[in-house]
Structure 1
Amino acid sequence: MEKENLVKLVIEYFEKVDAGDPGYLDLFSENVDFFFPKFGQAKGKDALVEFGNRIGSSLTSIWHDIDGFKITTAGNMVVVEGQEGGVMSDGTSWPDNNISTGRFCSVF
């Protein structure tokens, strides 16, 4: 797949996550292999659903500054650095710019 198309897929992923659209799952193959801190490494769409449910249960909303992403490609890999934030289920907004600055890096 061309780099442009890979980048479009990654951006579509973040757009769907921010919109709460479960269609983000359609962007992954059945053998997706992923790692997330505090969740660990897991394989398969069922594990990705479990991860989404676990993270989603602690959030009321989430946003990513897609326009501010720094994106690097290498072969079929896309690396995204950016800013994210949202509201926790207890009403706490994040990042608080004290403990959390909302910075993230994802590798696809």
Structure 2
Amino acid sequence: MTLTTGTMTDEQRKSVALEYLKAFDNGGVTSTGDSILDLFADDAQVYFPKWGLANGKEEVGRLFGDVGATIKAIEHHYSQFNWVFSGSDVVVCEGTSHGEHRDGPWRAGLPEWAAGRWCDVFEIRDWKIQRVFIYLDPDYAAQDTARYPWLADRG
């Protein structure tokens, strides 16, 4: 016997991605009280800059624990999201956020060159996140300026 699953719509995939983002704003807890990890397939992959590629739920949990330990609070700006649908399992969300990192606060646009703008590329099938690659500047508090000549005098 084979396992059959129904095709998800773009809006259904978007709802899974939104649940994931809202769980971050809620300390890793979904709207149903479950762990954010319950949104992932067992063999999911997650990429985060300066951490690398996490393979499987256990490593994804370690990645989220490592990164999450540096973030005191985060809030995504849902009304400003841009969504791109591929007609397949891939959904892209571009957005902004603000919050507090252990090194200081951040807000997208303050300053314009700093953290707070991000883009996530999701692959969602069977109501589970199979893959999410997170693209952002992990220097949330904008302290890494000396290595970039165009930022060195902006501080």
> After TM superposition, is the score higher than 0.5?
yes
Secondary structure of 1:106 counterpart: strand
- Relative to 1, partners in 2 of residues 1:33 and 1:73: Cα closer, same or farther, differing over 3 Å? same
Greater Cα shift, 43-52 or 97-106: 97-106
Q: After TM superposition, which residue ranges in structure 1, 4 or more long, deviate above 6 angstroms?
A: none
- Which residues of 2 match residues 1-108 of structure 1 at below 5 A? 1-22=8-29, 23-74=35-86, 75-90=88-103, 92-95=104-107, 96-97=110-111, 99-108=113-122
Higher-Rg member (1/2): 2
The alpha carbon displacement at 1:20 in A equals: 0.7
> Where does the alignment leave 5 or more consecutive residues of structure 1 unmatched?
none
- Relative to 1, partners in 2 of residues 1:98 and 1:73: Cα closer, same or farther, differing over 3 Å? closer
The percentage of counterpart residues that share the same residue type is 31
Tell me, in whole angstroms, the C-alpha distance in 1 between the residues paired with 2:112 and 2:83: 26
What are the superposed Cα offsets for residues 21-68 of structure 1, whole Å, 9 maximum, x if unpaired? Answer: 342111110000121110111210111111111111111101111121
Residue identity opposite 1:50 in structure 2: R
Could you say what the CA RMSD is over the residues aligned between the two structures, in angstroms?
1.4
Q: What TM-score do you get using the length of structure 2 for normalisation?
A: 0.65
Aligned length: 107
Secondary structure of 1:31 counterpart: strand
Residue identity opposite 1:15 in structure 2: K
Higher helix share: 1
Partner of 2:129 in structure 1?
Answer: none
Contact 1:60 1:88 (C-alpha < 8 Å) held by counterparts: yes
Secondary structure of 1:29 counterpart: strand
> Where does the alignment leave 5 or more consecutive residues of structure 2 unmatched?
1-7, 30-34, 123-155
